[in-house]
Amino acid sequence: MNTAQSHLQQPASPSIHDCVADVCTRIAPNWPLDKLIAVNPYWELKQDSFSDVAIRLAALAGVQSLMPKSFWIEAYQQGKISDNALQQAALIHDYQQGLPALKLTTESVAPASWKNLSGLVDQFRTEHQVSWHDEIIQQISQFCAAFYQSNAILERIEGENSQHCFYKSWRNNIIKDNGIGVLMGETKLAQSISTLPESPEALFEIAMAELEVQESIQEDYLYALLLDINGWAAYVAYRRWQNTSDDMMPLLAVRLAWELIIWRHLKHISSGVQTAVAEKWQQEQQSIGARFQEHHRHQKALWVWHTAHELTQQQQLQKQLRTTSDAPEPKPTLQAVFCIDVRSEIIRRALEQQDNGIETRGFAGFFGMPVAYAPTGTKLQRPQLPGLLAPQIDVSERTGNVTRLRPIKNQANWLRWSYSPTGSFSLVESAGWWYGFKLLKNMWFPGKQENPVSSLSHESQWQLSRDGETLSIQDCAELAKGILGALGIQNYAEQVLLVGHASCTTNNLHAAGLDCGACGGQSGEVNVRILTQLLNNEAVRVELKKLGITIPDTTHFVAALHNTTTDEISCFDDELSEQQRQWLRNATQIAQLERTADVDEKLAKLTPEKRQKAYRKRSYDWSQVRPEWGLAGNHSFIIAPRQRTKALNLKGKVFLHDYDWQNDSDYSVLELLITAPMVVTNWINMQYNASVTDNLKWGCGNKVLHNAVAGNIGVFEGNGGDLRIGLSMQSLHDGKRWMHTPQRLSVYIAAPQEAIEGIVNKHSHIKQLIDNDWLYLFSWQETKQIHRLYKGDWITQEEGH
């Protein structure tokens, strides 16, 4: 049922507490800065169709899930959308007005969106008065920042559990704070604040009654309120994801409390304004169904354009997949396993050009290591795996480096003091001159800045433990067996590079977002170092042989790291020959040259040596706001043997995971790929899409204006407002054009259709992603035929369609 239609039928309304519980499940998590990974902001809405969700979000909060018509008209004029695709898309979306009307360059104005009570009251304030809405968001946001910086202390003070502590702390805080009344020019505001209910549960009951909210729209109203503070709601969702606490209900209660405060205040000070607002409030509630219908009509043409672009891109890639020939498989002279990240595609092609015997493979960037890194001598534990998974094994250096650890601890203490309420003032007085010196130093002598925790991880000997017990050789062999089974290497070269990846940027609060998302927003160095140690261990190899896996005695695994900012590959031991090292250097030069088109066209005119120096300078430059483009432009994910894609230039826009179904008798590896890497790539793809279509709601604006919140929780754009999530404009736009075009991920799997369909039907959340139009899933057969799985049917993709 589409959202617009459902609002005309008005089914029986659930209780207010059921509404609250349902609404509180709709916010996707957002990871903090030091563990930043890409997240699909629509993730908790996947049970509904994308089109219905887009209508609801636009109607309730003005959220844009689609690009404006002008964007698509320009793309059409540039030949990026075909007439054939437009005709198909018009049929898909039942667009009745014809292609001439679709191609009119006139931009239609988006319908008005729902207004919360505070928004209606703002219509009666003068231009010289502070907006209620803006001040409410500012007050809640500042409270959240303070609360989550010291919530453990507050829980002890308040003597409450987390949920009640949040609301109680906020209520106590706002009752004692007279400043907001002065700021708003409302000196009698304290009277309305002081009578707030003492519990969030009571507040929902009282507010809905006093505000006269119709039962049929309570859920939509509450959802609109939560979307109003979506940034902090996303952080609360992250804490819930980690089982730390669940403050979503009290956060929603706080936002609703402000509606009640304003309503009561108006009754006390101005019956005339209150009557006018009450009339508008009733009109707003009665018009909500019409708003959904208006947004449905407005979005229909935009969906045609959006889908036509996706179809055009799919047709182009599918033509390549149909016509490419499988590459020969000579005896490998060197094997290199990279992350599936789209940034690996360019360097893999470049490396394969060096010699016919070079074989590269794509694999999940955490290399199957379900670990958390715990540096020796610290209490820190840093997950090194996808956010979807929980670590099962702790890893640490066999011998901690006290020399490196001491300055890091001192730095942490310094930062902790500087972030404290009192320290921040004395810091300016006592150390301002030192920071001035550092600014000058960074300006004239830029250098590499490394994550201080990562600087502890440059070790080759690691200890693995589970529940405090060191893993036995048998345990290590079992772990290695699972990883090698998923990796799928049948014929080992003498040298096998395990290539993790990391970025290299300076003065970048979102640096973790450029590192390996599969490693929890960290460098992949720890993972490849540990796996290399396991696979080179003779005792582990003996146990592996008992388990049916033989690694030749002549095979040596080498840990390496791909710097995605400069495309340099560093190896962590001296096992490679000079020729092999030259291959890596040549691959770097080729990749750097190819990327100049997006990074800086002037670099293409430089010699390879000067170009490499320029790339390094960009990575060290503390004023560089676009050190690299991350995963911008991503649009597809291919799960297939590399020889089937080796002849293709996929332009750094396609995720690649090696998989041979003939070596996967029970399809357990395929199931893992569909339920883990495919979901991760959906998260990445949808974060980029959403950050482009609505950077105000799903993105984090101008990174030049960012200020860190409580150290690592997130960022404010400027000095306040809601917590900002998603990607900055500088990660998406080069000042002239968008570097990412919103399009849903197209997944191509080289495996039997019955195996794919069986796995999809087994996992409801995967089926929802496919059937509710959050991604496209195709089978790519050995005959080169391509079929789309959609709502239980396999649809043949005809050439040119």
The annotation places the binding site for Zn(2+) at 339, 341, 501, 516
Task: Decide: helix, strand or coil at residue 660.
Answer: coil
**Furthest-apart CA atoms within the chain: distance in Å:** 88
The amino acid present at 139, given as its one-letter code, is: Q
Query: Which residues line the annotated binding site?
Result: 339, 341, 501, 516
369: nearest Cα among 533, 543, 531: 531
466 forms beta bridges with 469
Determine the Cα–Cα distance for residues 718 and 137; give it in Å rounded to an integer: 14
Got the DSSP string for 722-790? Answer: EEE-S--GGGTB-SSSBS------EEEE-S-HHHHHHHHHH-HHHHHHHHTTSSEEEEE-TTS-EEEEE
Cα–Cα distance between 521 and 387 in angstroms, integer? 9
Q: Between vectors from CA 790 to CA 789 and to CA 791, what angle results, nearest 5°?
A: 130
Beginning with the edge strand found earlier in the chain, give each strand of the sheet holding 469-470 in spatial order. 382-383, 371-373, 393-397, 462-466, 469-470
Are the C-beta atoms of 238 and 30 separated by less than 8 Å?
A: yes
Query: What string of DSSP letters covers 422-466?
Result: THHHHHHHHHHHHHHHHHHHHHHS------TTGGG---S-EEEEE
Return the sign of the alpha-carbon dihedral for residues 712, 717, 723, 728: negative
Residue 625 in tokens: 């706001």
**Which tokens in the block code for residue 333?**
């002279």
Burial status of residue 465 (CB atoms within 10 A of its CB: 0-12, 13-18, 19 or more): middle
DSSP string, 332-347: PSEEEEEES-THHHHH
What would the DSSP string read from start to end of 312-338? HHHHHHHHHHHHPPPPP-PPPSEEEEE
Exposed/middle/buried for 445, CB within 10 Å: 0-12, 13-18, 19+?
exposed
Contact 276, 245 (CB under 8 A): no
Helices 668-675, 677-693: axis angle to 10 degrees equals: 20
CB burial of residue 737 (10 Å; 0-12, 13-18, 19+): exposed
269, 216 in Cβ contact below 8 A? no
- By DSSP bridging, strand 776-780 and strand 786-790 are antiparallel
For residue 87, what are its two tokens?
Answer: 């005709």
Sign of the four-CA dihedral 188, 194, 196, 200: positive
What's the CA gap between 338 and 498, in Å, rounded?
A: 7
Phi, psi of 465 (to 5 degrees): -145, 155
Burial 651-683 (b: 16+ CB within 10 A, else e): ebbbbbbbbbbeebeebebbbbbbbbbbbbbbb
Cα separation, 209 vs 341, whole angstroms:
52
Q: CA angle, 392 as apex, 390 and 395 as ends, to 5°? A: 115
Cβ atoms of residues 497 and 577 within 8 Å: no
Contact of 23 with 219, CB cutoff 8 Å? yes
Q: Which two structure tokens, joined as six digits, stand for 590?
A: 């080729």
What would the 3-class secondary structure string for 3-71 be? HHHHHHHCCCCCCHHHHHHHHCCCCCCCCCHHHCCCCCCCHHHCCCCHHHHHHHHHHHHCCCCCCCHHH
3-state secondary structure string across 385-406: CCCCCCCCEEEEECCCCHHHHH
